[in-house]
């Protein structure tokens, strides 16, 4: 059965008559807008930082410094001088110990206080609301190399534990595991990491429902300011904002329960494969179905990665979108009948010279009976399938008006299938040869001319779960520069059956 399915999808692929195989990746942009050239300017006389986009002033900031040259006040303004916000900072030696945020340079919105351990690493980050009531606290613990190994998050005026995150590291300081615990101390998610010999990440796997869309990494606040030799002569704090005095919280209130471990169900996995051109990343869901594929090969793709997003419904793929920057290269959408068989495949995108729809009908046996190709609601081609037992014997090809174009005839060998292409008069026009492995997985497709000269070839490899992990597109008269974007693969991987 798998062989039949592969052949059906294969024949869909070879008849994408409107595909542009020479898509110019250099034409893609990160966005549909014109490129923005940005820059920052610094005026030492007025201690003003200005931000420009395409030489247009967007905002500016003015600074006050203490006698040690530390920033104690920042005002963020529109080009006309209207204040948007301001910050006041308090220092102890070289560390910021308090930060006060004012909207419109007048209304206090929140306060943060910072407490450091004996190694000058941030231990407590306390946040207060506009009424100076405690809102939340983050407490950090470190290993002897300065990596965060535990984050405790407390919320409320009387701080109550909310979440706990822990992190394990190897001797190379690579993160090997991150875990999340609820307020009762019960683990509700964790992520496992693997790396190659070059310390590049090769795998992240999430377990538990609370492992999706997070890394459990809570980064302590850091600050970066312009430097100066000393205090400015004229203060920019025109409203003379004076920060309130806050009492230290009772740290004995920061208590968390004993942590309880458990084995959680697999939820998702992300893998990276590196090569001489860049890397490929694949994310699969809890059913091991791919949901995201990223190919980053800067030389070939104009420094913009090629990305594929896949969406499922009841374990059936309903859409697959391939993008390059802000350009949608190929969009595939599928519809199914009550038997979960593909009935319609709609295609659009920039690699198509025209959008096409594929309509499927089935025999009582469940095998494909016909595939019609539509353009602008008009049938332009039709393929009718004939079988010998469970194998396709012949495919008859007509145009939209019912005129015979030709036939595909099939010859089966132990680990290969030869598909001869005959025109309407029965003349030989070439062939396709499909090579299979012992599991009946397609390992290559080769196209030959009527003189049996090789025209192009696809090659595939699979992992132990029979997921395709590599692909190669070879065209006889072109260098192999788009091997990660063969059009056939986008259809084959859909597995619409």
**What is the Cα–Cα distance from 410 to 330, expressed in whole angstroms?**
30
Examine residue 265 and state whether it is found in any structural domain, yes or no. no
Please give the average per-residue pLDDT across 414-429, as a whole number. Answer: 93
207 and 335 assigned to the same domain:
no
176 band by pLDDT with thresholds 50, 70 and 90: very high
- How far apart are alpha carbons 124 and 150 in whole angstroms? 12
97 and 236 inside one domain = yes
Asked whether residue 113 is assigned to any structural domain, the reply reads yes
The residue out of 226, 253, 280 marking a domain boundary is: 253
- Give the pair of three-digit tokens for residue 279: 């890397």
Q: Are residues 303 and 389 in the same domain?
A: yes
Number of domains in the chain: 2
Measured CA to CA, the distance from residue 292 to residue 285 in angstroms comes to 9
Average pLDDT over residues 125-150: 96
Query: Looking at residue 9, what is its pLDDT?
Result: 46
Domain match, 157 and 43 both: yes
Per residue in 402-438, is it b (16+ CB within 10 Å) or e — as a string? eeeebbbebeeeeeebebbbbeeeeeeebbbbbbbee
Taking Cα atoms as reference points, which of 69, 107, 73, 109 lies closest to residue 90? 73
For residue 266, tell me if it sits in a domain.
Answer: no
**HEC profile for 12-79?**
HHHCCCCECCCCCHHHCCCCCCCCCCEEEEEECCCCEEEEEECCEEEEEEEEEECCCCCEEEEEEECC
* pLDDT tens sequence across 328-352: 999 999 999 999 999 999 999 988 8
pLDDT value, residue 219: 83
Band (pLDDT 50/70/90 cuts) for residue 208 is: very high
pLDDT at 232: 79
In a shared domain, residues 147 and 199: yes
Structure confidence at residue 229 (pLDDT): 66
Q: What is the pLDDT of residue 23?
A: 63
Compute the distance between CA of residue 352 and CA of residue 197 in angstroms, rounded to an integer: 41
Q: Is 243 left (phi over 0), alpha (psi -120 to 50) or beta?
A: beta
- Give the Cα-Cα-Cα angle 304, 305, 311 (nearest 5 degrees): 135
3-state DSSP assignment of residue 210: helix
Residue 121 has pLDDT above 50, yes or no: yes
Q: What's 253's DSSP letter?
A: G
> Contact at 8 Å (CB) between 65 and 231?
yes
**406-411 long-range Cβ contacts below 8 angstroms, 24+ apart:** 408/11, 410/7
Q: How many CB atoms lie within 10 A of CB 32?
A: 8
In a domain, 341, yes or no: yes
Q: What is the pLDDT of residue 234?
A: 83
Residues 380, 337, single domain; the answer is yes
Same domain for 16 and 45, yes or no, is no
Residue 49 lies in a domain: yes
Three-class SS state of 209 = helix
CA atoms within 13 A on the CB side of 276: 2
Q: Which of 195, 226, 253 is the last residue of a domain?
A: 253
- Measured distance CA(107)–CA(87) in Å, rounded: 11
- Quick one: which of 459, 461, 414, 464 has its CA closest to 438? 414
Max CA-CA distance within the chain? 94
Q: Are residues 352 and 246 in the same domain?
A: no
Half-sphere exposure of 326 (CA within 13 A, CB side): 7
Q: How many CB atoms lie within 10 A of CB 367?
A: 16
Tell me the pLDDT tens digit for each residue of 434-483. Answer: 998 988 888 998 989 999 999 888 888 887 777 777 777 776 543 333 33
Residue whose pair of structure tokens reads 């609820």 in the numeric block: 182
Are 196 and 300 in the same domain?
Answer: no
Residue 31 has pLDDT above 70, yes or no: no
For residue 482, being part of any structural domain is answered with: yes
Q: Is the predicted pLDDT of residue 300 greater than 90, yes or no?
A: no
295 and 175 belong to one structural domain: no
Higher pLDDT, 463 or 400: 400
Q: Which domain holds residue 486?
A: 2-28+271-492
CATH number for 71: 2.40.128.720
> Is position 278 within any domain?
yes
Report the pLDDT value the prediction gives residue 222, as an integer from 0 to 100: 86
Distance CA 132, CA 86 (A): 17
| Mean pLDDT, residues 380-405 | 92
DSSP 8-state code for residue 492: H
**Rounded to two decimals, what is the model's pTM?**
0.77
Q: What is the pLDDT of residues 52-99, one digit of tens each?
A: 999 999 999 999 999 888 999 999 999 999 999 999 999 998 999 999
Q: Which residues of 267-284 are buried (b: 16+ CB within 10 A; e: fewer)?
A: bbbbbbeeeebbbbbbbb
Mean pLDDT of 261-272: 94
Q: Identify whether residues 92 and 17 lie together within a single domain.
A: no
Residue (of 97, 101, 94, 44) closest to 232 by Cα position: 44
Q: What is the pLDDT of residue 220?
A: 86
How far is residue 403 from each of residues 56, 190, 400, 406, measured CA to CA in Å?
62, 60, 7, 9
Q: Would you state the pLDDT for residue 30?
A: 54
Q: What is the per-residue pLDDT for 25? A: 66
Band the pLDDT of 10: cuts 50, 70, 90. very low
Residues 6+ apart with CB under 8 A from 199: 172, 174
Which of 63, 55, 57 has the alpha carbon at shortest distance from 36?
55
User: Can you give the pLDDT at residue 488?
Assistant: 36
Q: Which of 155-164, 186-195, 295-304 comes out lowest in average pLDDT?
A: 295-304
- Position 440 scores a pLDDT of 84
Which single residue is written with the structure tokens 């497709």? 445
DSSP 8-state code for residue 249: P
Other Cβ atoms within 10 Å of 385 Cβ, number: 22
Position 229 in a domain: yes
In terms of domains, do 245 and 285 share one? no
Binning pLDDT at 50, 70 and 90, where does residue 427 land? very high
- The two tokens of residue 150 are 């535990």
Q: Is residue 324 within 8 Å of 331, Cβ to Cβ?
A: no
Is residue 140 within 8 Å of residue 117, measured between CB atoms?
Answer: no
Mean pLDDT of all residues in the chain? 86
């Amino acid at each position: 059965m798998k062989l039949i399915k592969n052949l059906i999808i294969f024949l869909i692929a070879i008849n994408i008559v409107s595909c542009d195989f020479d898509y110019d990746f250099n034409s893609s942009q990160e966005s549909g807008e014109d490129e923005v050239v940005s820059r920052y300017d610094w005026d030492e006389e007025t201690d003003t930082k200005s931000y420009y986009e395409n030489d247009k002033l967007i905002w500016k900031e003015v600074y006050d410094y203490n006698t040690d040259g530390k920033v104690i006040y920042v005002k963020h303004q529109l080009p006309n001088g209207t204040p948007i916000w301001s910050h006041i900072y308090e220092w102890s030696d070289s560390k910021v110990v308090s930060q006060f945020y004012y909207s419109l340079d007048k209304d206090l919105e929140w306060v943060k206080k910072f407490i450091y351990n004996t190694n000058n690493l941030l231990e407590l980050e306390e946040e207060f609301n506009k009424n100076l009531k405690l809102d939340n606290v983050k407490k950090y613990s470190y290993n002897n190399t300065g990596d965060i190994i535990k984050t405790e998050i407390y919320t409320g005026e009387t701080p109550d534990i909310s979440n706990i995150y822990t992190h394990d590291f190897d001797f190379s300081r690579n993160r090997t595991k991150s875990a999340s615990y609820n307020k009762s101390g019960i683990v509700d998610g964790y992520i496992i990491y693997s790396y190659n010999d070059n310390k590049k990440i090769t795998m992240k796997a999430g377990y538990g429902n609370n492992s999706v869309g997070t890394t459990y990494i809570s980064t302590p606040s850091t600050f970066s300011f312009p430097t100066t030799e000393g205090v400015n002569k004229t203060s920019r704090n025109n409203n003379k904002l004076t920060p309130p005095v806050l009492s230290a919280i009772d740290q004995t209130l920061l208590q968390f329960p004993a942590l309880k471990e458990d084995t959680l169900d697999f939820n998702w996995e992300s893998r990276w494969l590196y090569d001489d051109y860049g890397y490929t990343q694949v994310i699969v869901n809890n059913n091991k179905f791919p949901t995201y594929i990223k190919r980053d090969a800067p030389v070939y793709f104009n420094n913009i990665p090629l990305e594929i997003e896949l969406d499922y419904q009841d374990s059936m793929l309903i859409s697959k979108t391939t993008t390059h920057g802000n350009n949608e290269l190929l969009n595939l959408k599928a519809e199914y009948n009550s038997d979960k068989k593909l009935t319609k495949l709609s295609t659009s995108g920039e690699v198509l010279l025209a959008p096409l729809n594929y309509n499927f009908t089935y025999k009582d046996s469940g095998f494909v009976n016909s595939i019609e190709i539509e353009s602008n609601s008009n049938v332009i081609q039709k393929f009718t399938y004939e079988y010998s037992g469970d194998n396709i014997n012949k495919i008859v090809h007509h145009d939209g008006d019912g005129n015979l174009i030709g036939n595909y005839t099939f010859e089966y060998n132990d680990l290969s299938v030869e598909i001869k292409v005959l025109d309407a008069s029965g003349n030989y026009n070439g062939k396709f040869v499909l090579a299979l492995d012992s599991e009946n997985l397609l390992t290559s497709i080769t196209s030959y001319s009527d003189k049996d000269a090789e025209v192009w070839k696809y090659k595939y490899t699979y992992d132990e779960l029979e997921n395709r992990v590599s692909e190669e597109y070879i065209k006889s008269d072109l260098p192999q520069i788009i091997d990660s974007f063969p059009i056939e693969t986008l259809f084959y991987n859909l597995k619409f059956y």
